[in-house]
């Protein structure tokens, strides 16, 4: 991931060297020869990361860093320092600086790894802020709903169909967010200011579903002591979301077909025709074509609903979305229970990413709520259900071996991510360098470290 970087360094040769290695990595680099020039640039431009010498004539790096702290979204600072000023660099880190490296650089790769990590962290934080703002405004958070490459095509299709009045049929496994997508379509249609009425066809008893949809007149059946509006009336001018449409009884399917064809209906026990100025969005986790073939779903209703089909990918096909979703749920549940956590440890995040998620986003939400309740400091593998730590193994020995294999895999991935740097690898894994050294020896990985 490329970013915009400000290099503040009074040594012209070293400044040029830093610019070259960062530019070669694809970053946009702006340089300043001293603290005053750096401050002027920071006052009028925005940067993802500042790579800054700690000691410079006039305004030093620490003063420059402190000036940026009042910014609503300050850049992330990485300091460069000589051995004699390490104490000052440590003090800067206590005030919020990211890290420091001593000059001369032992390896350019270490700086590149730090810069890459901080650009990714900043991007994730910005996306989470956007999600919070959307949530606070009562709008479904776009960045959450469409996180991951697999959802890009879905977003394109929604952008095309939302402004129309076409009936939409959403296919997707349980927990993939079908109702959230239907709300998204509603809010971006010409009906966005009108009601959005959801109905779960599987959750309402068969003998009550017709009345729930179309309403009833007084005395229409035992217990109907007064007339009652149905969901079609309540959704007038807006959108009616029919979830689990495949669970609708065949007899009621015929009445729904008439509403879609004629845009009119009567209440149960009534004869007055009522207009149905309603857009219908339906959803199912069943294969409706198979249901039609087996005569459990009307073919004519299927084609009437399937005007514009949308298929939502399962979470297992969206592994790139899991870190954002997990962070979002962690932040949401932490705020709900008033708990401060330091994020998700890399091992736990890797386990979340590898899991198959049969319950999809809903399952991830439940897992993260449980983890937040149990976590102390940060979410760890121990805070996740047993299946994330090999709990499904047939024996205790198998489970232990599986956990060791996963641990070795995580260490290898962290080493690769940090170009073999042991200090950065230990920090990413949340262990001490001594513990990392022991694990490297235990798993025979010493030859994998540069």
Regions of the chain short of the pLDDT cut 50: 130, 133-134, 136-138, 140, 391-399, 448-450
Q: Give tens-digit pLDDT for 1-55.
A: 678 899 999 889 999 999 999 999 999 999 999 999 999 888 777 788 999 988 8
| Max Cα distance, the chain (Å) | 91
The predicted structure's pLDDT at residue 380: 93
Share of the chain above pLDDT 90, in %: 38
The third-level CATH classification (topology) of the domain covering 142-313 is Rossmann fold (3.40.50)
- The pLDDT value recorded for residue 450 is 41
- Please state, in angstroms and rounded to a whole number, the distance separating the CA atoms of residues 396 and 153: 44
Domain ranges of the chain: 4-132, 142-313, 319-389, 394-450
Q: What is the pLDDT of residues 106-117, one digit of tens each?
A: 788 988 998 988
Structure tokens at 141: 């958070």
- 184, 234 Cβ separation under 8 angstroms: no
SS3 helix, strand, coil % of the chain, rounded to 5? 55, 15, 35
- Count the alpha carbons within 13 Å of 429 in the hemisphere toward its beta carbon: 28
Strand partners, 99: 78
- Using the structure block, give the residue that is written with the tokens 């890459």: 116
Assigned CATH for 394-450: 1.10.10
Q: The domain 4-132: what is its CATH number? A: 3.40.50.2300
Q: What is the pLDDT of residue 70?
A: 67
Domains 4-132 and 394-450 share a fold: no
The CATH label, of 2.40.30.10, 1.10.8.60, 3.50.50.60, 3.40.50.150, for the domain at 319-389 is 1.10.8.60
DSSP string, 281-332: EEEESS-HHHHHHTTSS-HHHHHHHTTEEEEPPPGGG-GGGHHHHHHHHHHH
Query: Beta-carbon neighbour count of residue 185 at 10 Å?
Result: 27
Q: What whole-number distance in Å separates Cα of residue 371 and Cα of residue 373?
A: 5
289 in Cβ contact with 330 (< 8 Å): no
Distance CA 97, CA 75 (A): 10
* Helix residue spans in 175-229 (DSSP H): 178-187, 206-214
Which residues are registered as beta bridge partners of 168? 281, 308
List, for residues 284-327, the tens digit of each pLDDT value.
998 999 999 999 999 999 999 999 999 999 999 999 999 999 99
């Amino acid at each position: 991931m490329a970013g915009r970087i400000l290099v503040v360094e009074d040594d012209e040769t070293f400044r040029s060297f830093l610019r070259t290695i960062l530019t070669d990595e694809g970053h946009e680099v702006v340089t300043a020869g001293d603290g005053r020039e750096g401050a002027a640039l920071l006052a009028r431009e925005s940067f993802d990361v500042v790579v800054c010498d700690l000691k410079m004539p006039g305004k030093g790096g620490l003063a420059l860093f402190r000036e940026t702290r009042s910014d609503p979204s300050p850049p992330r600072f990485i300091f460069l320092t000589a051995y004699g000023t390490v104490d000052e660099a440590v003090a800067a880190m206590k005030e919020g600086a990211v890290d420091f490296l001593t000059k001369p650089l032992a390896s350019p790769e270490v700086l590149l790894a730090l810069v890459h990590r901080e650009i990714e962290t900043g991007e994730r934080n910005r996306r989470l802020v956007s999600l919070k703002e959307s949530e606070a405004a009562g709008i479904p958070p776009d960045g959450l709903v469409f996180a991951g490459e697999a959802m890009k095509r879905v977003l394109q299709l929604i952008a095309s169909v939302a402004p129309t009045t076409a009936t939409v049929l959403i296919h997707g496994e349980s927990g993939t967010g079908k109702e959230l997508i239907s709300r998204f379509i509603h809010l971006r249609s010409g009906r966005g200011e009108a009601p959005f009425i959801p109905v779960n066809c599987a959750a309402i008893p068969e003998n009550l579903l017709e009345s729930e949809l179309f309403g009833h007149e007084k005395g229409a059946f035992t217990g109907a002591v007064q007339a009652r509006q149905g969901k079609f009336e309540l959704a007038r001018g807006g959108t009616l979301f029919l979830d689990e449409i495949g669970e609708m009884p065949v007899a009621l399917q015929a009445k729904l077909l008439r509403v879609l064809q004629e845009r009119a209906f009567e209440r149960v026990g009534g004869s007055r025709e009522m207009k149905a100025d309603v857009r219908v969005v339906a959803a199912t986790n069943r294969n409706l074509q198979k249901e039609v073939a087996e005569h459990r779903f009307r073919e004519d209703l299927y084609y009437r609903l399937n005007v514009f089909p949308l298929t939502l990918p399962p979470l297992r096909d969206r592994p790139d979305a899991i870190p954002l979703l997990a962070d979002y749920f962690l932040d949401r549940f932490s705020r709900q229970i008033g708990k401060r956590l330091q994020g998700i440890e890399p091992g736990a995040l890797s386990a979340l990413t590898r899991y198959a998620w049969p319950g999809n986003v809903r399952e991830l939400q439940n897992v993260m709520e449980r983890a937040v309740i149990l976590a102390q400091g940060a979410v760890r593998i121990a805070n996740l259900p047993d299946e994330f730590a090999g709990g499904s193994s047939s024996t205790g020995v198998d489970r232990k071996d599986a956990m060791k294999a996963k641990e070795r895999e995580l260490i290898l991935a962290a080493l690769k991510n940090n170009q073999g740097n042991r200090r950065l690898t230990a920090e990413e894994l949340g262990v001490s360098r001594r513990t990392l050294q022991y694990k490297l020896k235990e798993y025979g990985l010493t030859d994998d470290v540069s």
